[in-house]
Structure 1
Amino acid sequence: MSSLFRIGQVLKGRASKYTITTQIQDTVWFAKNHLQERVVIKSVQGHPRVENERNVLERFQHRTPYLRPLIDEIDEPSVPVTIALRYLHGDLLDASVAKTLNRRELKYVSRCVLEALRTLHEDGFVHTDVKPDNVFVNLQEGDIRFSDVQLGDLGGSYPVDSEWATSGTVVGAPMWTSPEILMELPWNTAADIWSFGTMLISLIYGGHFNLFQPKDLNRDDDEYVLGVVEEQFKYFGPFPAKIAEIADPETVQSIMLIMQNIPKEKTTPFWRTTESEVNYRDNIFISKMMKLDWRDRPTAKELLEDEWWNNDAE
């Protein structure tokens, strides 16, 4: 894929000029403004993601400090839509790989992400891609190494009444994604709660750990998504019978097949995880979110009021 911008190219924004310094991904660059401060530039040809991220941030960023903010829009070149975002030192995935989060860090980043989700969910918006590498952080010295924690990458955020949500369009990265999305059912804000729970599990274990990584399957394999759903079932099943109220007959049949193919003795219920791996209070908190029927999951607001935040007796 040819790059939209070349190194050294100057972009004219409404608040500053930006000189491209590094290409990070196909659609993401680092640049420096007129004060030599680093910013993140995002632009993509022929897709609405960047325009959508701009619109979502314009709506929400003044309501919470926990979303990575838009700081400028590029006027020259005017096509495609190009935005400048706040630069942060890194993301939670890199931080977790470097060193597993301690208790205070775990709770701090969890509160920040849930506060961001609560703000989006208040207006019925779904982030759809909550995962450690979409949570950006600034680092500091001390008991908590994060001075700032902001949820980013809102290009796939859509309201619950959008065609994306009501038609059951598959969005996000499968390993972090809720079962209803993977089964192509209509989805809503509860999908983010599942993804947050998945992220919390990964942060507790540290590194590149993901509970739902299918064994012996790669992302490009046809059976990969089914493999993720099977792992979700193994740890947090069974699907309740009332799932038939919100799933079409074909999906119900697929669920029945999964349950038949993975008998109870082959499941590994998460609540049985040893306390040396996941402590009891964390396990209870996580289990509240990881419900295969989205109607059984708490809201971000309810999770922020949970007793999990009380001081640990450790």
Structure 2
Amino acid sequence: MNNTLNENPQKPPYLKFFPDALQNELQQVYTEKQTWVNQPKKGFLRYRKPIEELTHLRASALDVTGDTVQIGKREDLNKKEHEQVLQLLKGFMPWRKGPFSVFDIDIDSEWQSWRKWNRLLPEMPDLKDKVVADIGCNNGYYMFRMAAHSPKMVLGFEPYVHHYYTFKALNSFAGLDNLDIDLLGIEHLPLFPTCFDVIFCLGILYHRPSPIDSLRDLLTALKPGGCLLLESQAIPGEESVALFPEKTYAKVPGTWFIPTATCMHNWLQRAGFINIKCFCSHPMSSTEQRQTDWMVFESYQDFIDNQNPEFTIEGYPAPWRVFFRAERK
């Protein structure tokens, strides 16, 4: 089992999985990111310092096959260690993805992410011995679920320090050597041409001001014959149109284009993907995304018109979620 915080900052652990011709540039970006995140900033230290005190702890058991990712058991820790881990995990609030059970500390996340995972499973390609990317991986819930399928390596792209360190803490306890993360966003995909067998891009595209460019970057990062699993917020309707909100959509300011499923299909096609299939679409609800003791801020019910749940608080059509599988020729 590896110690995920004591890496050589000049050498990304995932480097060996990519072609030699890419390694200099990948190493340079990694070094820049590590130099940035290792600054003695209060915002960074609040996440990093508590983990450094607990890197010696290891889970005696790991179960990534069920709805809840289970890391360790209560008896793995003494009373003091258990309290330290509890405070560490509380320090990572709000928990958006999950659920997790960490040394029998149950974390009820805002999203019941197992629901999305179960919708992906029927169309998911074989991950065994594959090199996989999870774009916008958050705390790594889906990466841990992927681990049950024996990939060669899963690299999580996560630009937010909060989520980056949450995954670092979880995998420090779990010790999975085939999972890794870097402080990268979807805009860094051009660093990885023809590198991935499978790319997961879940809940990201509507946060991009140029979705076609992002789709082309996803295509370019896939190996020939590689597979994209894309999930996105959407609006209902059969026409090939996308909503462009004036300021916010469902109270989220960083939302740009929200397409219909038909529009998303056309985007994928014009970006160069083949064998495009929309295999699931459903309206969002507070059954799947809601406030919990581990996410105490506003959630789905606060984003929707309480007089008419078919509309957002701004008066736009309420969001659906659409799922696509597409391939690179």
Does the TM-score normalized on the shorter chain lie above 0.5? Answer: no
Q: Give me the TM-score of the superposition, normalised by structure 1.
A: 0.32
Q: Greater share of helix residues, 1 or 2?
A: 1
Point out which structure has higher relative CO (alpha carbons under 8 A, 6+ apart): 2
